[in-house]
Structure 1
Amino acid sequence: MRVAIVGGGWAGLSAAVELSRAGVRVTVFEAAKQLGGRARSVDAQGRRLDNGQHILVGAYRETLRLMKEVGADPDRLLRRLPLEICFPGGQPAPFRLRLPRLPAPWHLAAGLLASRGASLAEKLSAARFMRILQGTGYRLNEDCTVATLLDRHGQHGTLRRYLWQPLCLAALNTAPDQASAQIFAHTLRDSLGGERAATDLLLPAADLDRLFPAAAADFISAGGGEIRLSTRVDAIDGGFTVAGEHFDAAVLAVAPQHAATWLARDEATMAGARLLAEYHFEPIGTVYCGYPPQVRLPFPMLGLAAHGSEPLGQWVFDRGALCGTAGVLAFVLSGRGAWERLDNQTLVAGLQEELAAALRTRLPPLVWHQVIRERRATFSCRPSLPRPAARTARAGLWLAGDYVCAEYPATLEAAVRSGVAAARGILLDWRRAQ
């Protein structure tokens, strides 16, 4: 059996690895010069940087499983830390929540009670909120926005500002007043509501290529498969001929806007094309700032609190503490916001002001900076958003991508799960046909 996989991002590579593991010959076609899709490494100003500062959590079990499968050791490539949310510039007082290494659910209860900057009433209200969600199996009677859900359960003040809203934006890349409460509930189920290890932060201690794409490519090649870079595929004919070669099935592992174009070419998949054509998208910005090597943050990840009407950044990461690149800080700007309207120089200056205010200190002169803007980084994860299935209406054609994993937002774990689901569907059909 031969399977063509169009798209060499994390979804396509996950499908290829799962199929290769089962002895299927796969060929991955990637239009770009490198693998990884929207989670890749880039060369900028003579430096190796990631196109975005991605965060993994302990609940990403399929991502961790496949990393191990291809020989990319998570214990070596990821720095595992207890969940810690720290806003040193929080108002009216600095906010800090750290989950201790206790069995679930005591780690969450103890972490909430020991958090700084929130009142006891807020802490108890947050615990009740989680208990109510748990009692319903994290299922809502009807989807709504995250803001509406928080209002409904009295989540206001400090914990809303520095816990629930930042978690929503980090996970869904969609503002709370537009984000799906049901998808947010799923992320809480598998993180704060899961086992203690599920809440751990897994911060990359190596560039994104080394986390999975490079090892996945080696694994696929060792299994007799092929990786074809700089190879754009414009069509898959009725007999699954791709680039002049015949395949028994194909996985379309491209972004939803590109998948819509592909699906519109076939009457059988036109409904899926119309569904995806209605999607909206959210941007992500990553601003790398290079300082003298002695510059360090008090924690590997800090939250930036707004002191004006609208913040620019949400988080800043110390790449020196994570990857050994001393003096390099990575600011993350999730979703739509004021940052989109600023030129690079103004944006960098504003982020430095926010960080200096949060740390209550002056920063040394900047040595270099690099701004990376992904204007269509993720689909906008809105209430009741219809999601396509992995299996399309055309027999043998499958979809993979974070937008296919219906219970999750646009995350690496969703991309990996979608690829695994497509591969397992192909294998099941193949076995039934034997």
Structure 2
Amino acid sequence: MTSSPAKSVAIIGAGWAGCAAALELAQAGAHITLIEAGRHLGGRARGVSLHGHQLDNGQHILLGAYSESLRLMRKAGVDIDQALLKLPLQMVYPQHEDGMSFIAPRLPAPLHMLVALWKTTGLSFADKQALARFSTTARWMSWRLHEDCSVTELLERFDQTERLCRLMWNPLCIAALNTPPERASAQVFLNVLRDSLGASRAASDMLLPRVDLSALFPDKAAALVSKHGGQVLMGHTVQALHQNADGKWQLDIKHSEANTAGITPFDSVILASDFANAERLMQPLPGHTGSMPAFTYESITTCYLQYEQTVRLPRPMLALLDDPAQSKWGQYVFDRGQLHDTQAGLLAVAVSASEQACALDQQQLAQDIAAQLAHSLGMPTLLQPLWHKCISEKRATFSCTPKLQRPDNQTSSPGLFLAGDYTKGDYPATLEGAVRSGVAASKAALAFLKSK
């Protein structure tokens, strides 16, 4: 590729998948044009400015198993130790809830899991037996199913106790797949467990971003694209694309009030937008099969609540017992003050895969969550935040259901590729899934360019 630096690639969409593809291709010698319709990099995982704080449109947890994300962050110049707070695998509930406390010590695998299980409080002997049985059986099966099923069916098949499902497996499933266990893919869930619980001790670490998600990777990736001679176009919407007689790709782009046609044609294009926009752009193309799957979507809401700076949780992150029937929506609470010095007293509560919560008035949802926190943590002062803000992404992820057919990175049009967390792969709609897809699309594009 370095011998043909004139090869040009347009990447439509500057989320994590698009930025991953752009970084890989730019460093391989391609001339990159990264095109983003919005004003911020990161797509559905981006930074937002809120009450003087630089936060995120959704609180995220990364895992030590996110090997491609961590590799590209380092390649982009991110100091991992400074940018991420590293916690051992844990599922800890507030003392005032009927929960559990599971913390994996920093010991070699699988000893870390055995010691964690032995020291866990809040689980009976039968619960611990069930957890050990699950881990042993999953390893024996090489984390593979002959036929996919729901996570609920998998847990029943492995004779997991009701309490263990409620306190550990169901929350882990929702956190990893953003899909309720009764309709979540057991195989994809096992894939995540294989690379975290079933791998090295470091792979199971939980990584909490100390900087906003745009600064964590997309901003630095885009800067490196520019450094390599590429360009990053913000606020540009691709309205159509087509191949000319020479087989090159022409884009029709709108910027503000001006339509810009006739931009220099590209040798290859990577569609790294969301699924709906990718389908919109592909639909008119000759030879398009129209076989793209019909995805359904899941929402994620993050509720930020600011309190006095003296407010501090026992841990940077705690699990919560959600119960929609009692208006308890929160599933995890994060103490932002333990992530960033300037955010003391700021709590972030994650509500995943809950259409009911997303449909509530923001004021009511914030009041419900504040009441849940006050009760669960035994801190009456949490009833009255100084300010609050709920941010909902109604189409945050696709529903990761059993046997879901996801499209390949390769399309039926020569030189046109897909990148996004929805493409075919082992992972659900996570940052790692997006990055892996971007890397796969970049490899496919490089192979195509070298063949020309």
TM-score range, shorter chain: over 0.9
Q: Which residue pairs with 1:212 in the alignment? A: 217
Q: 2:363 aligns with which of 339, 345, 351?
A: 345
Q: 1:193 aligns with which of 195, 198, 218?
A: 198
* CA distance in structure 2 between the aligned counterparts of 1:113 and 1:54, rounded to whole angstroms: 29
List runs of 5+ in structure 2 lacking aligned partners. 1-6, 253-262
Matches within 5 A, 1:10-21: 10-21=16-27
Q: Which residue pairs with 1:302 in the alignment? A: 318
Q: Deviations over 1:65-102 (max 9, x none)?
A: 000101011111001111121112576x3311000111
Q: Which residue pairs with 2:413 in the alignment? A: 394
Q: 2:334 aligns with which of 306, 310, 317?
A: 317
* CA distance in structure 1 between the aligned counterparts of 2:405 and 2:138, rounded to whole angstroms: 23
Letter in 2 for 1:98: I
Scaled by the length of structure 1, the TM-score of the pair is 0.96
Q: Deviations over 1:386-423 (max 9, x none)?
A: 01000111110000000114211000000000000010
Are the aligned partners of 2:268 and 2:415 in contact in 1 as well (CA < 8 Å)? yes
Distance 1:289 1:221, change over 3 A: same
Q: Deviations over 1:148-194 (max 9, x none)?
A: 11011111232211111011000000000110111001011011111
Are the aligned partners of 1:72 and 1:210 in contact in 2 as well (CA < 8 Å)? no
- Higher mean Cα deviation, 220-229 or 232-241? 232-241
* CA distance in structure 2 between the aligned counterparts of 1:21 and 1:339, rounded to whole angstroms: 43
Are the aligned partners of 1:41 and 1:50 in contact in 2 as well (CA < 8 Å)? yes
> Is the partner of 2:236 in helix, strand or coil?
coil
Q: Which residue pairs with 1:98 in the alignment? A: 103
Letter in 2 for 1:326: A
Q: Which residue pairs with 1:280 in the alignment? A: 296
Matched, 1:242 2:251: yes
Alpha-carbon RMSD across the aligned residues, in angstroms, is 1.4
Q: Deviations over 1:367-390 (max 9, x none)?
A: 111110100000000010001000
Are the aligned partners of 2:405 and 2:424 in contact in 1 as well (CA < 8 Å)? no
Q: 1:378 aligns with which of 397, 402, 411?
A: 397
Letter in 2 for 1:260: E
* CA distance in structure 1 between the aligned counterparts of 2:356 and 2:236, rounded to whole angstroms: 37
* CA distance in structure 2 between the aligned counterparts of 1:165 and 1:51, rounded to whole angstroms: 24
Matched, 1:148 2:132: no
CA deviation after TM superposition for structure 1 residue 271, in Å: 3.2
Letter in 2 for 1:153: F
* CA distance in structure 1 between the aligned counterparts of 2:427 and 2:155, rounded to whole angstroms: 19
* CA distance in structure 2 between the aligned counterparts of 1:132 and 1:307, rounded to whole angstroms: 31
Q: 1:254 aligns with which of 273, 296, 319?
A: 273
Are the aligned partners of 1:312 and 1:337 in contact in 2 as well (CA < 8 Å)? no
> Is the partner of 1:269 in helix, strand or coil?
coil
Q: Which residue pairs with 2:45 in the alignment? A: 39
CA deviation after TM superposition for structure 1 residue 258, in Å: 1.8
Letter in 2 for 1:174: T
Matches within 5 A, 1:92-131: 93-131=98-136
Letter in 2 for 1:334: S
* CA distance in structure 1 between the aligned counterparts of 2:298 and 2:44, rounded to whole angstroms: 13
CA deviation after TM superposition for structure 1 residue 432, in Å: 3.5
* CA distance in structure 2 between the aligned counterparts of 1:130 and 1:83, rounded to whole angstroms: 15
CA deviation after TM superposition for structure 1 residue 307, in Å: 5.9
CA deviation after TM superposition for structure 1 residue 352, in Å: 1.1
* CA distance in structure 1 between the aligned counterparts of 2:308 and 2:153, rounded to whole angstroms: 44
Matched, 1:133 2:138: yes
Matched, 1:263 2:282: yes
Scaled by the length of structure 2, the TM-score of the pair is 0.92
* CA distance in structure 2 between the aligned counterparts of 1:246 and 1:181, rounded to whole angstroms: 44
* CA distance in structure 2 between the aligned counterparts of 1:308 and 1:378, rounded to whole angstroms: 21
Matches within 5 A, 1:63-74: 63-74=69-80
> Is the partner of 1:236 in helix, strand or coil?
strand
Matched, 1:58 2:64: yes
CA deviation after TM superposition for structure 1 residue 44, in Å: 2.9
> Is the partner of 2:207 in helix, strand or coil?
strand
Letter in 1 for 2:371: E
Q: Which residue pairs with 1:427 in the alignment? A: 446
Are the aligned partners of 2:358 and 2:394 in contact in 1 as well (CA < 8 Å)? no
> Is the partner of 2:288 in helix, strand or coil?
helix
> Is the partner of 2:86 in helix, strand or coil?
strand
